[in-house]
Structure 1
Amino acid sequence: MKTSIYHPIILLFLFVNLLFSSCNSFQTENIFEETPSLTNSSIQSDNNDSIASIDSLKNDSIQLSMDKHIQTQQNIIDSTKLYIYLTFDDGPFKGSEKINRIISEEQIKATVFIVGLNSYTKRLQQHIDDYKANQYIEVANHTFSHANRNKFVGYYKQPSVVLEDVIRNDSMFTFKNRFVRLPGRNVWHLGKQTKYDYDQASRNSANYLAEHKYYILGWDYEWRRLNKNHPLENPSKIYDGIVSRLKNHETLNKNHMVLLMHDDMFDNDHDAEKLRELIRLIKQNKDFIFEVASNYPIEIS
């Protein structure tokens, strides 16, 4: 009888299959029990490692040249002079073109801190190219996203996100220095010298950037416009404020004044000429020397 021949074979096959399934199920359960879940903290750690590796080569090469430059710069600072650092934030904007032209025509040094996210048209990208081509202008890092479009509180709670934002901007524009200005925060971290005017979160972010060999430049005085409908303050008033703060030692470092401005302040010819007026007032005082951010005094050892 044929069925009697195959019946035990079928039973044996079913038994082996059942045994294999049980073992496979047991192994699968053990795999999930022993494999740790990929938590946010582990993802964050992986991201930190990735960020560090991306930045490491440029970090090392530029840091060596920056250290040498800083040490050299300390030896040529004239203690009898007053140093003024004109800095412009948030470009590129419409006003960037006028800033670039006036700085070139007046032949004085200045630093622009640019935001990658703002260069979203060919015209705005051209403003960056013009800045980089200007022998009097130093281009520096103001992060790519400007704190995720001014979401400051959440942004500074994650120092690794801030670093990633800085590196993204750096990779976009290939800055020739390691100077950064934090969005919306007057924070300084220059070698051994620090000053924090804001919360612990922004302090932690500045410290984290410093660990990755960045220099954080704040400001001593700001020339600002309250809103678009409000006129710019008179240049002579700003000049008097600069002189007064230097005289009364109200700056981070004696005889050194970092002035903050923004590109969008000078988006029309009338306001742009106010910038020229301020520059000429400063130039008339022979005690002043215009400098760029990377020549600011830093104690690195």
Structure 2
Amino acid sequence: MMFMSLKDRKEISIFCCLVWFTLCVLTGCSPEKEEVHTSAGQKPIAGKSSYGEEERVLSGFQMIGEYAAKPYAIVGTNPPSSERGSGKKKAYLTFDDGPSRQTKHILRILREKGIKATFFVTGKSSPELQAYYKLIVNEGHSLGNHTYSHNYGYIYSSVKAYRKDTEKLNDLLARIAGVRPDIFRFPGGSDNHLSRKAGGRHIMAKIAREMTNIGYRYFDWNVSSTDAAAVTLPKQNILASVRSNSLGKNQIIVLMHDEDHKTTTVEALPDAIDWLKKQGYQFETLSKSSFVFQFLHPPG
């Protein structure tokens, strides 16, 4: 039996260390990152962290001056000129991601102000939250589909996945609220960049075409409250965004969020409504026959 000297063992150890170091440099090995989950329980796309995908997507839009840098026009029932054209001023308030603990406060404010809004909801398992689906409908508001899971990595992986997740939510809404919405909003909007990581460069166009062909209509927004720019954005920032982004527009679809941590959105809502009323806006709910704003026009 052969025994290595202490010197030989040291030389072998040094050699092994050098080999390991070289491999790490070449392959970029690093400790595995802890898996992050959003507040809704869905897994974000690999490589992304922080508290929620939509906040990153939407706050990114606002940093370039809302939609001035986005080359998409208004399409749908009304022609592009309708946004700034003559006629009645109409405001469509929309709330994404609910129901949540804030839903009851939003509904109370809408009731007190005598106006109706549109809620783009997601799937909830809690009976307490599910009850809001029916309450929203009973109080005269519109329900829109915002996917069941709101999981970017899954819903944007394929056309089939998006349609399946949408129909799963509609099945739930039909059972609880007695309605199957034919309007929806893409998580992150119809031109979000995260979808490309899940399903490729053209995935949004493919999904938009499929959903339109089977009878759905999707809505983006032309006024953002920017309440997604932070976990909880100051009330005055939200009000300032609604005011500045509404200027010069006769028909506006206002984006807000209905989530547990959006307390300042609730605080800003009464003042935002009052300001819009003073500007002459009438409030309506979205439907397939209403004004439409889409970032991405689905190809025929």
- The two structures have a TM-score, normalised by structure 2, of 0.59
Question: In proportion to residue count, which structure has more helix?
Answer: 1
- Inter-CA distance 187–87: structure 2 relative to 1 (3 Å threshold): farther
| Letter paired with 1:107 | G
Q: Does 1:272 align with 2:279?
A: no
Q: What is the deviation of 1:156?
A: 2.0
1: CA distance between counterparts of 2:265 and 2:120?
A: 20
**Which of 98, 101, 115 is the matching residue for 2:108?**
101
- Inter-CA distance 245–205: structure 2 relative to 1 (3 Å threshold): farther
Q: Does 1:259 align with 2:257?
A: no
For 1:257, what is the secondary structure of its paired residue? Answer: strand
- Inter-CA distance 99–263: structure 2 relative to 1 (3 Å threshold): same
1: CA distance between counterparts of 2:262 and 2:233?
A: 14
Tell whether the 8 Å contact from 1:186 to 1:219 is kept in structure 2 after alignment: no
For 1:228, what is the secondary structure of its paired residue? Answer: coil
Q: Does 1:159 align with 2:159?
A: yes
The residue aligned with 1:184 is 188
Which aligned pairs between 1:29-108 and structure 2 lie closer than 5 A?
A: 79-108=86-115
1:191-213 residue CA offsets vs partner (Å, 9 max, x unmatched): xxxxxxx9521121111111111
Tell whether the 8 Å contact from 2:145 to 2:166 is kept in structure 1 after alignment: yes
The residue aligned with 1:292 is 285
| Letter paired with 1:109 | K
5+ long unaligned stretches in structure 1: 1-69, 72-77, 189-197, 247-254
2: CA distance between counterparts of 1:201 and 1:271?
A: 32
Q: What is the deviation of 1:234?
A: 3.4
Tell whether the 8 Å contact from 2:170 to 2:181 is kept in structure 1 after alignment: no
Paired positions, count: 198
**Which of 101, 112, 116 is the matching residue for 2:119?**
112
| Letter paired with 1:87 | T
1: CA distance between counterparts of 2:164 and 2:219?
A: 18
| Letter paired with 2:87 | T
5+ long unaligned stretches in structure 2: 1-76, 79-84, 193-199, 293-300
2: CA distance between counterparts of 1:184 and 1:115?
A: 13
Tell whether the 8 Å contact from 2:246 to 2:252 is kept in structure 1 after alignment: no
The residue aligned with 1:126 is 131
Q: What is the deviation of 1:229?
A: 5.1
The residue aligned with 1:42 is none
Tell whether the 8 Å contact from 1:142 to 1:180 is kept in structure 2 after alignment: yes
1:76-128 residue CA offsets vs partner (Å, 9 max, x unmatched): xx942121111000111111111111111111121000101xx2212211222
Point out the structure with max Rg over C-alpha.
1
The residue aligned with 1:74 is none
CA RMSD of aligned residues (A): 2.8
Aligned-pair identity (%)? 25
1:58-88 residue CA offsets vs partner (Å, 9 max, x unmatched): xxxxxxxxxxxx89xxxxxx94212111100
The residue aligned with 2:277 is 283
Tell whether the 8 Å contact from 1:113 to 1:141 is kept in structure 2 after alignment: yes
The residue aligned with 1:249 is none
For 1:276, what is the secondary structure of its paired residue? Answer: helix
Tell whether the 8 Å contact from 2:120 to 2:184 is kept in structure 1 after alignment: yes
Tell whether the 8 Å contact from 1:94 to 1:267 is kept in structure 2 after alignment: no
- Inter-CA distance 204–155: structure 2 relative to 1 (3 Å threshold): same
The residue aligned with 1:231 is 234
Tell whether the 8 Å contact from 1:157 to 1:202 is kept in structure 2 after alignment: no
2: CA distance between counterparts of 1:245 and 1:163?
A: 36
The residue aligned with 2:5 is none
Q: What is the deviation of 1:139?
A: 1.0
2: CA distance between counterparts of 1:236 and 1:184?
A: 21
Runs of 4+ displaced beyond 6 Å: none
1:194-249 residue CA offsets vs partner (Å, 9 max, x unmatched): xxxx9521121111111111101111122114333542443541342233251xxx
The residue aligned with 1:141 is 145
